[in-house]
């Protein structure tokens, strides 16, 4: 399809519970990016993939966050033992290349609320 | 991480007026992009300007880039109520797209 599909749209988890978010990139796009947006403010880069390989994971808090992009499956971002400060909107984006002449295409985001 | 910063942060204008937003960044870049975010939605790509370009137009949008000053501006001409949104600059460097804090623009009908 021509849109980046993120599911679920909303997710509520109790502190300490696991959260798993999904992202289906646009077909034919080789790169996938995850960003975290807190309080409608800055977009914090988390991780990027080139196909199923991690391209850049320097933004990930590795002790609790993990991500995968497996062939023929939506990409996923998993947070183990969620904390209150993980409450944010998580955006996924895809592009055909790292330096995309048309920019990245973003999904509508998953709003995670940790209570 | 080094991110672009916009100035001003919030802007309220009358429909038909022009809106100008600025962005500064700190590192060398390959390109700079502007995105719009409507409330509760994802980012929509507006325009991209490459590091060897100085000005670019797209419809009612005009973006400038001054690499010597490491700054960019986005001008929206003849604003409409539908332009009400947050606008983010983003620049590509160090293998990632980094975003600034965003400008909230409110266009009053």
**Mean pLDDT, range A12-33, rounded to an integer:** 96
A33 and B CB contact within 8 Å? yes
Residues of A in contact with B3 (CB under 8 A): 42
Q: Does A7 have pLDDT greater than 80? A: yes
Q: Report the residue of chain A nearest B43, measured CA to CA.
A: A106
Contact A41 B99 (CB under 8 A): no
Q: Does A2 have pLDDT greater than 50? A: yes
**Mean pLDDT, range A90-114, rounded to an integer:** 87
Contact A103 B35 (CB under 8 A): yes
A99 and B CB contact within 8 Å? yes
Which pair of structure tokens corresponds to residue B7? 């100035």
d(Cα A40, Cα B84) in Å, to the nearest integer?
Answer: 15
Q: Report the residue of chain B nearest A45, measured CA to CA.
A: B98
**The predicted structure's pLDDT at residue B7:** 54
Contact B45 A43 (CB under 8 A): no
What is the least distance, in Å, from the CA of A56 to any CA of chain B?
8
Size of interface A-B (CB pairs under 8 A): 60
Q: Report the residue of chain A nearest B98, measured CA to CA.
A: A45
A43 and B CB contact within 8 Å? yes
Which residue ranges of chain B lie beneath pLDDT 70?
1-8
CB burial of B60-98 (b: ≥16 within 10 Å; e: otherwise) equals: ebbbbbeeeebbbbbebeebeeebbbbbbbbbbbbebbb
Contact A99 B3 (CB under 8 A): no
Q: Answer with the residue of higher pLDDT: B100 or A6.
A: A6
**The predicted structure's pLDDT at residue A11:** 98
Contact B96 A56 (CB under 8 A): yes
**The predicted structure's pLDDT at residue A40:** 72
**The predicted structure's pLDDT at residue B36:** 95
**The predicted structure's pLDDT at residue A42:** 84
pLDDT digits (tens, 9 = 90+) for A29-86: 999 999 999 877 789 999 999 999 999 999 998 899 999 999 989 999 999 999 999 9
**DSSP of chain A:** --S-EEE-SEEEE-TT--EEEEEEPPTT--EEEEEEESTT--EEEEEEEETTEEEE-TTS-TTTEEEE--TTS-EEEEESS--GGG-EEEEEEEESSSS-TT-PEE---EEEEE-
């Amino acid at each position: 399809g021509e849109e980046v599909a993120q599911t679920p749209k909303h997710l509520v988890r109790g502190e300490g519970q696991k959260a798993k978010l999904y992202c289906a990139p646009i077909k034919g796009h080789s790169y996938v990016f995850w960003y975290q947006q807190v309080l409608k403010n800055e977009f914090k880069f988390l991780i990027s993939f080139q196909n199923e390989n991690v391209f850049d994971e320097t933004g990930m808090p590795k002790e609790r966050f993990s991500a995968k992009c497996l062939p023929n499956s939506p990409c996923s971002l998993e947070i183990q033992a969620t904390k209150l400060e993980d409450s944010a909107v998580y955006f996924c984006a895809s592009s055909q290349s790292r330096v995309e002449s048309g920019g990245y295409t973003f999904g509508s985001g998953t709003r995670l609320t940790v209570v | 991480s080094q991110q672009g910063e916009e100035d001003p942060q919030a802007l309220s204008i009358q429909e038909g007026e022009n809106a100008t937003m600025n962005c500064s960044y700190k590192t060398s870049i390959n390109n700079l992009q502007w995105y719009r975010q409507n409330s509760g939605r994802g980012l929509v790509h507006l325009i991209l300007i490459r590091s060897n370009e100085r000005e670019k137009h797209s419809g009612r949008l005009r973006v400038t880039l001054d690499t010597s000053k490491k700054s960019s501006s986005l001008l929206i001409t003849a604003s409409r109520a539908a332009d009400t949104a947050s606008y983010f600059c983003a620049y590509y460097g160090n293998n990632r797209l980094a975003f600034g804090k965003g400008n909230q623009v409110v266009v009053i009908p």
